[in-house]
Structure 1
Amino acid sequence: MLYEHLNKITDSSNAVISRTIETNREGLGKVTLVDSDLGTFVSKITGPERAQFEVARENLARAIYFAAAGFYSQAFSSLRLCLELSFAGVYFSANEYKRRRWVSDKEDFSWSNTLAPEKGVFSTEFVNEFYAELSDEARRYADDALSIYRDCSQFIHGKEVATKKISKELTFQEDVLTEWSDSALRAGNAILFLLLVRYGKEIGVYGDQALVDVIQKKFGKIRAVRNGLGME
C-alpha cells in the first residue's frame, strides 16, 4: 500500500514537471541563473558564515525542484528559509559573538531585527559601514525581502489566503508557479544586492571578472555600480 501511494505521488509529480518544463522553462530558468550567480558570489566568501550561505543555496535548489514538481507550498517554505539563512549570514558576519551563540543554540535569529530600518542590514548605518555609495538603493531591496518573506510565511503557517491557492490534488498550476518564480527571482536579487553591500569592497568585486559579470548583469543600472565598473 505504501509503495502504491508513493508511486502515485511520483507519477503525479513527474507529470507536473513535464508541464512545467513545457510551459514555464523561462521563468524557472531565470531563478536557476540567480542561484548560479549566488554560487559565484558565495565562492569568494571566506568567513565562517559562508556555511550558512551554502545551506541557503541548498534550500533554493530544493525550492526550485518543489516548484517544478508541483509541491508549491513546500517551494514557498524553502524559499523563505533561503532568505532567512542568507540574511542571517550577512548579519552574523558583522556579529561574530551572536553567530557563535546561534550556532551553539543559545540564541535565536531574529528576522525583524535583521531587517529593522534603524539597525538592520539594509539600514543606512549598516550600508554606510560597508558600501556607503549603495545606501540610496538599499530600501527597495529591503522592502522586497520583507514582502516575500511575509508571503512565504503565510504558506508555512497555513494562512487561508495562501493555502486556498493550492489545489488539493498534486497538479500543475501555472498561476502559482508564476507567482513563486517572480518571488524567487526578486528574493535572489535582494540577496545578491546584500552580498554586494557586505562583501563588494572587501573581496574586490570589481577586480574579479566572474563577479563583474554577475554585478553588471544585475545592478549595472545603479550609478555606484557603474562607477565601480568604470562606466561613468
Structure 2
Amino acid sequence: MATCHEHYLGIVERCKDIVNMSFVEGRSEIHAQNHNFLNDLHEWLEVLKDRPEFELYNMAFKEYSQGLINISQGSYRQAYNSLRFFIEHSLAAVYFSFRELDLRLWMCGQQDIYWSTITDENNGIFSKSYFTAFSPPLIEESPLFLQLAKKLYRECSEYTHGNYVTAKILPPTLAFSDSSFRDWHEKAETASMLVVFSLCSRYFSFFGPDAKVRLETSIMEHIGHISFIRDSFQTPQEVF
C-alpha cells in the first residue's frame, strides 16, 4: 500500500502525463495562443500601474495564469473557476475605476463584488450612460458584449457551483479530456476579447500616444474588427 507521500507523488506523475497530452496533436498551438495573452496582460498592468484599481487587475490577471496551469494538467473544474474569477474581477476593476468609494470599501472588506451590479443594464459597465461618459464611439458594441459577458460567466459558473451537467462532462478521475481542453480554451479566447474590449471602453480615450503604441498589438488582435478601433490605429495618409 502506498504511503501518503507516494500517493501524492503518483498524482504529480499523472499530472505530468496530462500536461504532455495537452501539448500534442495540435493542442500545443491552442494553448500557446492563450498563453501568449499573458504578455498582453503584462502590458496592460504596466500602463495601468498608477491607477487605484491596479491591485484588482493584478489579482484577476494572475488568476488567468493559474487557469492555464489548471487546464494544462487536467484540473478542469478549477480551470473554469479561474476563468470565471478572471472575468469577474477584471470587469469589477473596470466598474470600481469610476466608483472609487466602492473600490476602497472593497479593499477594506466592507464591500463585495456583485456580478449583477457590474452588468446592470442601467448603471453597469455596459450601460448606455457608461459608454456615453467614457466611450461614445463604442456604444453600439455594448449590447453584444453585455450578452457575451453574461453567457460566458453563466457557463463558467456551472462548474463553480457544481451543476450536475458538469459532472457528466468532466472526467470522473484525474485524466485528460480533449473536449474539456478545447472548450476551456475557446472560452478563454472569448474572455480575452471581452476583457480587452472592457478595458478599451474605459481607458482608450484617455491614452496618450505611448500607451496606444504599447497596447496596439493586443488591442488590434482581440478587437481590431471594430471599425473605430481599427481606424484609431491607422496611419494618417499624407495630403498632397
The Cα shift of 1:221 comes to: 2.1
Letter in 1 for 2:81: S
Rounded to whole Å, the distance in 2 between the matches of 1:5 and 1:203 is 53
Match status 1:22 vs 2:10 = no
Pick the aligned partner of 2:14 from 12, 24, 28. 12
Q: 22, 33, 54: which one pairs with 2:58?
A: 54
Q: CA deviation at 1:117?
A: 1.4
Does structure 2 retain, via aligned residues, the 8 Å contact 1:70–1:172?
yes
Per-residue CA distance 1:118-157 (angstroms, 9 max, x = gap): 2110112112211110111122222222111111111111
SS at match of 1:48: coil
Instruction: For residue 35 of structure 1, report the CA deviation from its aligned partner.
Output: 2.6
RMSD between aligned residues? 1.6
Which runs of structure 1 show a deviation greater than 3 angstroms over 4 or more consecutive aligned residues?
205-208
**8 Å Cα contact 1:77/1:155 also seen in 2:** yes
Kindly indicate whether the alpha-carbon contact (under 8 Å) linking 1:34 and 1:189 is maintained by their aligned counterparts in 2. no
Q: Does 1:35 align with 2:49?
A: no
Q: Tell me the TM-score normalised to structure 2 length.
A: 0.92
Q: Quick check: 1:13–1:70 contact (8 Å CA) kept in 2?
A: yes
Which residue of 2 is the match for residue 163 of structure 1?
Answer: 167
Change (3 A) 1:26 1:118: same
Q: Deviations over 1:149-173 (max 9, x none)?
A: 1111111111011122111211110
**Counterpart AA for 2:60:** A
- Name the CA shift for 1:225/1:15 in 2 (closer, same or farther; >3 Å): same
User: 5+ unaligned residues in a row in structure 2: which ranges?
Assistant: none
Indicate the SS of the match to 1:43. helix
Count of aligned residue pairs for this structure pair: 232
What does residue 98 of structure 1 align with?
102
Alpha-carbon distance in 1 for matches of 2:100, 2:174:
43
- Tell me how far apart the structure 2 counterparts of residues 49 and 103 of structure 1 sit (CA, whole Å): 10
AA of the residue aligned to 1:13: C
Of 143-152 and 170-179, the range deviating more from structure 2: 143-152
1:19-45 CA-to-partner distances (Å, cap 9, x unmatched) read 001131121112112232122122101
The answer to whether the Cα contact below 8 Å between 1:63 and 1:79 also exists between their aligned partners in 2 is yes
Corresponding residue of 2:87: 83
Q: Name the residue aligned to 2:74.
A: 70
**Structure-1 separation of matches of 2:160 and 2:230:** 39
Higher relative contact order (CA 8 A, sep 6+): 1
State which structure, 1 or 2, has the greater radius of gyration over its C-alpha atoms: 2
Partner in structure 2 of residue 3 of structure 1: 5
Matching of residues 118-129 of structure 1 within 5 Å: 118-129=122-133
What percentage of residue pairs aligned between the two structures are identical?
A: 25
Residue 115 of structure 1 contacts residue 142 of structure 1 at CA under 8 Å; is this kept in 2? yes
One-letter amino acid of the counterpart of residue 144, structure 2:
R
TM-score by length of 1: 0.95
Conserved? CA contact 1:71–1:170, under 8 Å: yes
Amino acid at match of 1:97: L
Counterpart residue identity of residue 68, structure 1: S
For residue 80 of structure 2, what is the amino acid of its counterpart? F
